[in-house]
Amino acid sequence: MFKITKEKIVFDDRLIIKKAKIEYKGSKFSRLKIHREDAVAVLIYNTDSKKIILTKQFRYPIASKIKQQILEIVAGKIDKGEKPLTTAVREVQEETGYKVKPGKIKFLLSCFSSPGYTSEQFYVYYATVTNADKVSDIHGLESENEYISLVEMTVPEFAKQIKTGKIKDAKTYVAGLYLYPHEIFKKK
């Protein structure tokens, strides 16, 4: 069995990097991890327009690989003491301006974003909204330097982007693949 014998913080500035000493079958080695809060991700479908609502924003970590802003489903970190469902509803409103009504959001799955280097776990949801649920034209929090644009696409367009690998964001891809044989895709 793997045994973590020591763990310490080696970097703490917005992200926390920890270094651990590990023992396994007589071997001793070290590993690093980025300690990150868990997060939510929400695939949104507008039942009036019959469109998927995605966000588009600049992501510094991938800017050297992808010049354009990346398409993603709504996502955000879970605040301390907050439940994932509460975070999901809050993030949808902060990033899209839509208020999700109770009963219109469904938990799909949880997964680790990249278990080789980060502790972050995503709780993925599917939500439906209507045009009447739009309560704000604000997309992202200025205090968090979020500059978000919305992109709406039909279910066939979204399905094609998933099938052809044009969606490059893992959480969006996973949510699309998960829902493909279910929900809205069955109707199209």
- Which phi and psi angles does 137 have, rounded to 5°? -105, 10
For residue 123, give the nearest of 159, 76, 90, 158 by alpha carbon.
Answer: 76
The pLDDT value given to residue 188: 46
The pLDDT value given to residue 139: 72
The pLDDT value given to residue 14: 82
The pLDDT value given to residue 179: 80
For residue 154, give the nearest of 162, 146, 143 by alpha carbon.
Answer: 162
Task: Say what percent of the chain tops pLDDT 90.
Answer: 79
Cβ of 13: how many Cβ atoms within 10 Å? 6
CA 103 to chain centroid: 21
Whole-angstrom distance, CA of residue 16 vs CA of residue 32: 10
The CATH class given to the 36-186 domain equals: alpha beta
- Is the pTM higher than 0.75? The answer reads yes
Q: Per-domain residue ranges for the chain?
A: 3-34, 36-186
Q: Which residue pairs from 100-104 have beta carbons closer than 8 angstroms and sit at least 24 positions apart in sequence?
A: 100/42, 100/127, 100/129, 100/133, 101/129, 101/133, 104/128, 104/129
Sequential pLDDT tens for the chain (188 residues): 999 999 999 999 988 999 999 999 999 999 999 999 999 999 999 999 999 999 999 888 899 998 889 999 999 999 999 999 999 999 999 999 999 999 999 999 999 999 999 999 999 999 999 999 999 887 766 666 677 899 999 999 999 999 899 999 999 999 998 887 665 656 54
